[in-house]
Amino acid sequence: MTTLFVATTGGHLAQLDQLSRRIPVDPDSVWVTHANEQSTSLLADRDVEYVPYIGFHSVSGVLKTVPHALRLLRERKITRAVSTGSGIALAYLPYLAARGVECHYIESAARVSGPSATGKLLRRVPRVRTYAQYPHWPDSGWSYGGSSFDIYLPAEQPRELGDTVRVVVTVGTAAEFPFRRLIEPLVPLLAEDGPLSKATERPVEVLWQTGCTPVDGLGIEPRPFMPAAELDAALAQADIVVAHAGTGSALAVLQGGRKPLMALRLERFGEAGDDHQKDLAAELSRRGLATTIADPAELTADDLLGTLNTSVVKTDNPPPFRLVDARTGAVLR
């Protein structure tokens, strides 16, 4: 038996990587995603086939990838497919489900109150089992299997600053949505002799992971895209983390044991396809795992230092993610 794991890079892939460790294991597996610094490092020890990037709401991109699904089924003998989206799921799950493959679509943890466009489409596809990561969705067609955030808990473990204040600013890997509105006000706040340096009486060292955001004229040294392992190491060593409210960034920060300040990408500014980050930030705040930034322009040194009072720890025994047999309704073991 062979499981296909398929997801877009960024938060979708980060979630699938984590959730794959909490579902029943098949003897063989193959991963399908897009190639970038995150995916090539995160999946370095996995069997992976890379496909061209499928853009936001790109029907042509989905259709061009379907022949690859045909080849995978024929050559790799796929018996189960699991995806966390986004559009790449449409290139594989409907085709495979129609040919008898056991298919599971897990909606992103970013979707707190309802499904994405991809989820709405796949909900209508026969023999594709769909899952929410929140138990309160009203649509009975969605099973609740658990959440990507179930393994993280806030802990009152104040962090003592060293000789240098280490800060990571990360806006994820989205290829189409810049987030300069977050970067601009942080530059003077984190500058040499800026408010944070003065408040702590220490120099401030900043890693700027900027994705596709243009930072010309800001006087910073950006790292647009980074290998997952390198970013993870920087997050684990950071004193303070400021991030966009994306699922992949959230998981990476929590994995590093930090409680982030999370800024919302907003559709009206061209920073996201919709405003789903509001729901995710609210959910993480409810769990005590993040603090939401209402307006980046109003951030202060005190806001940054306030995150030092809480760390994030992982449970030693994460609950399994409950996949359900599409034919019998029984939980898979």
| pLDDT of the residue at 333 | 67
Residue 230 CA to residue 232 CA, distance in Å, equals 5
- For residue 138, pLDDT over 70 is answered with no
| pLDDT of the residue at 316 | 79
| pLDDT of the residue at 37 | 87
- Closest CA relative to residue 92, chosen from 5, 24, 171: 5
> For 80-92, how does the pLDDT look when each residue is reduced to its tens digit (9 = 90+)?
999 998 889 999 9
| pLDDT of the residue at 276 | 86
Banded pLDDT at 326 (limits 50, 70, 90):
low
Residue 90 CA to residue 327 CA, distance in Å, equals 21
| Cβ neighbours of residue 203 closer than 8 Å, sequence gap 6 or more | 163, 164, 165, 192, 197
- For residue 330, pLDDT over 70 is answered with yes
| pLDDT of the residue at 56 | 64
13-29: average pLDDT: 91
65-90: average pLDDT: 92
Q: What is the DSSP letter of 333?
A: -
Burial 8-19 (b: 16+ CB within 10 A, else e): bbbbbbbbbbbb
Banded pLDDT at 273 (limits 50, 70, 90):
confident
DSSP strand pairing (128-132 vs 102-106): parallel
Residue 35 CA to residue 168 CA, distance in Å, equals 24
